[in-house]
Structure 1
Amino acid sequence: MVNKKKIPNATMKRLPLYYRYFKQEEHNGNDRVSSRQISEALDIDSATIRRDFSYFGELGRKGYGYNVSSLLKFFLEHIQGNDVKNVILAGAGNLGSALLNYKFANIHDKMNVVGAFDNNKALIGKKINGIEIYSVDDLERIIEIENVEVAIMTVPMEAGQETADRLIEAGIKGILNFTPIRLNTTPDVTVHSIDLGVELQALFFQMKIK
């Protein structure tokens, strides 16, 4: 079993990139790849790739590279997991609707979005990309019925903490947070925050110093 506590956050963030790369190589019919090929495809230096993989043991062989099917199996069993996780989306406004219109299978093939929630009566009962929008009053009920562990949160900033509290109380263990606030959660809940404003500022800064 992989001890994820010893793995740096930067490495963990690169793992989905590696998985997607090996998935594409399998689709292309390739049996093996080198760290140099991975480096060129993902724009990550070879030393970083070898160091990332070293946290999980001997995944490749010198002079041979990495076996595509073996690495895919490893990612599925030890990192991604074999089970499909049911996910909900809290907040079906502009950003939430845009996410619903996107093909979630392109983001993660082990994710099943079972519903979205909003307090806007004009949205409740509608479907976006086949996903029904429920009233926020049904939040806890759907989470329990569908055995949901993960929530994507795109509610307005002022509703962020209250929504997170309800999600956690209902049994959610992972939150992808698109609100620009730091959420207070219990230790057993994992939160990954994406602040689009901060990301844009980082992009502008990187463009300026190039």
Structure 2
Amino acid sequence: MGSQIPKATARRMPIYYRCLKKLQDSGVKRIKSNEISQLTQIPSATIRRDFSHFGELGRSGYGYEVDYVTKVFNELLNVNKIIKIALIGVGNLGKALIENNFRRDQNLKITCGFEKCEENSGKILSGVPVYSIDQMKEVLLREEIHVAISTVPSEFSQEAVEMLVDGGITAILNFAPGRVNVPEHVDIRYIDLTSEILTLVCYNDWLLHPVVK
């Protein structure tokens, strides 16, 4: 993908691809942006603007050819390429991630884990080798891995992320809510499970018991 594509657009591309793939598998041949909007909950104007970054994908009043646009996004996302992922922190959450290991996305695979605790390192979990954290840089460079997931607690996440970056990692999904410092070339995303659940509960409660003024 070219550098001119906005980050927000790039983040929505997998959503578009999954939607289009389902439509293609269902035999849908043509679709309009307002129909994609209903399926993805992304405004149709945003969809048209995003799609415009990739050339003339559709025609006004006609819509988009599902097979063609799916092929374009397939090539842009390089979905047939296996993306190797490293996992740092093989506690309960880490073990669950390894056990699941992106079963629905065959191109994403956790291929190695790293653990500071000697009790959890030196093992093979669901086919994934777990190394000592001291071996991280060596393994990451040898395996040419650039994507990582960190389940290390917030108080240790800065150190863990620095080790990942030192090993050539440029994309990190961090399950610790505390923000960490990374170089400009490293993209890091955060998943705060507690915050997400509280937001979900509050929103659900508001739907069930809206405040009437």
Q: Which TM bucket (shorter chain)? A: 0.7 to 0.9
Which of these residues, 159, 164, 169, is aligned with residue 172 of structure 1?
Answer: 169
TM-score by length of 2: 0.84
Point out where structure 2 has 5 or more consecutive residues left out of the alignment. 208-213
Which amino acid counterpart does residue 116 of structure 2 have in structure 1?
A: N
Which amino acid counterpart does residue 158 of structure 1 have in structure 2?
A: E
Within a 5 Å distance, the mapping from 1:114-193 to structure 2 comes to 114-193=111-190
1:87 counterpart SS class: strand
1:198 counterpart SS class: helix
Which of these residues, 44, 57, 62, is aligned with residue 60 of structure 2?
Answer: 62
Which amino acid counterpart does residue 52 of structure 2 have in structure 1?
A: S
Aligned to 1:47: 45
Shift of 1:67: 2.0
Equivalents in 1 of 2:177, 2:98: separation in Å? 20
Shift of 1:169: 1.0
Shift of 1:177: 0.9
Shift of 1:105: 4.2
1:151–1:172 contact (8 Å) kept in structure 2: yes
After superposing the two structures, state which structure 1 stretch, 15-24 or 162-171, moved more.
Answer: 15-24
Equivalents in 1 of 2:79, 2:176: separation in Å? 27
Within a 5 Å distance, the mapping from 1:2-17 to structure 2 comes to 2-4=2-4, 7=6, 9=8, 11-17=9-15
Asked whether 1:99 is paired with 2:97, we answer yes
1:33–1:68 contact (8 Å) kept in structure 2: yes
Which of these residues, 11, 32, 35, is aligned with residue 34 of structure 1?
Answer: 32
Q: CA RMSD in A?
A: 2.3
- Note the alpha carbon deviations across 1:67-99, whole angstroms, 9 max, x for none: 223222222333456643221011111111111
Distance 1:28 1:207, change over 3 A: same
Equivalents in 2 of 1:103, 1:29: separation in Å? 29
Which amino acid counterpart does residue 183 of structure 2 have in structure 1?
A: T
Q: How many residue pairs get matched?
A: 207
Which amino acid counterpart does residue 183 of structure 1 have in structure 2?
A: V
Equivalents in 2 of 1:110, 1:32: separation in Å? 27
Equivalents in 2 of 1:127, 1:43: separation in Å? 40
Shift of 1:4: 4.3
TM-score by length of 1: 0.85
Identity %: 39
Larger Cα-atom Rg: 2
Point out where structure 1 has 5 or more consecutive residues left out of the alignment. none
Shift of 1:191: 0.7
